Structure 1
Amino acid sequence: MNSPRFEPFQDRLSRDIRNELSASLPLALAQNDLAPARAVAARYLHQDLAPPYVAYIETRLAGYAKALAMITQLPAETALAKALVFWDLGLFFEVHEILEQAWHGARGTEKEMLQAMIRAAGFYIKGEYGYNEAGAKMAARAVAALEKNRQACTGFELDTLLERLRNLDPNPPKLMRS
């Protein structure tokens, strides 16, 4: 029997854990408190989970704590600024979660830019699990939209991101400016 691995595209438990943890983020960010994420984590950790699931949960909670501390230091707490913190921590599904909420209320150029950043994050999400062909399609669409909406792409290292996406570089760039 194969030992379980955390794989949200093939395993329902993995997908549920990932989705529920990331869905707790907006409330945790609004409250500046990880209690909502910890509650989700505790519900899963009280089950007899295999080590890959436990490791994912613990790694995510540690990343969320680090992100929350960094976000409180931001000069402006926009959705993009928050997402960039998660990006630089390698928490790409959470980038998707944060930007998707902002995307729903956005219009025009901003909406297209947010969708492009969601797709850019999707490239790294897909790549993490070996879905390189699907990731490449997302990267191409992200590049096209980011180029088209370049004027809206402020506050982060756009050219570095574009280069990495064009080259399908599996190593994500740091996007926050020092």
Structure 2
Amino acid sequence: MLLIRKEQPSDYKQTEDVIQQAFQNVAYSNGKEHELVRALRTSNEFVPELSLVSKQGKTITGHILFTTVEIKNAGNSLIGLSLAPLSVLPEYQNQGIGTALITFGLTTAARLDFSVVVVLGHKEYYPKFGFVKASAYNIKPPFAVEDDLYMVKELQAGVLTTTQGTVHYSPVFML
């Protein structure tokens, strides 16, 4: 049976192993996603309730992390979330664990009153969860990326009609 819960400090080592294994053979990976997560845990943008693990028995099978971002332009700004990274052990992939982590994470984020989430990810995968091209709302990443890969999701209806600008991430992402 799959259990999803908040990550605990005692999980950190096993979670980092999961992240390393999940990205081990991914072409676009720099192999340092586990180091990014370790650094984000100590950043101001870390939201402990949104660092989640999936477990089957005693094994952590997956992890998802949402950290705060600021979407801003000259006139205003909005605090939202970034979904990054999502990791599932290779032997547990394609069993619905990623879907369960995303769904649980988005529900938790909405319950915590966050209104928007951005993600850089697979253009065929994330739209299943309601993500759309961020450019459709004039929301831009702070880096060059293919338009179809940078997406946004409203957690509060209508928030994107009054929000536009560039997404500012934790400085940790730039390390």
Instruction: Give the structure-1-normalised TM-score.
Output: 0.35
If asked which structure has higher relative contact order (CA below 8 Å, sep 6+), I would say 2
By percentage of residues, which structure has more helix? 1
Instruction: Give the structure-2-normalised TM-score.
Output: 0.35
By percentage of residues, which structure has more strand? 2
